[in-house]
Amino acid sequence: MEERDFFNETVEQRTHNLVCPKCGQPGEYKVTWVVRRKRQQIPRGADERDRARFAKAQSYMVRRDDKLACQNIRCRKPFEITALQSLAFLQE
For 30-83, the pLDDT digits (tens) are 999 999 999 988 888 888 888 898 889 899 999 999 999 999 999 999 999 988
Strand 78-80 and strand 67-69: the pairing is antiparallel
Write down the pLDDT at residue 76: 93
Instruction: Output the CA–CA distances (angstroms, integers) from residue 82 to 55, 67, 79, in the order listed.
Output: 32, 9, 9
- Say what the pTM is: 0.82
Inform me whether the pLDDT recorded for 26 exceeds 80: yes
Inform me whether the pLDDT recorded for 12 exceeds 90: yes
Inform me whether the pLDDT recorded for 1 exceeds 80: no
Q: CA 10 to CA 84: how far, in whole Å? A: 19
User: Of 64, 73, 71, which is closest to residue 29 (Cα–Cα)?
Assistant: 71
Higher pLDDT, 92 or 27: 27
Cα–chain-centroid distance for residue 70?
A: 21
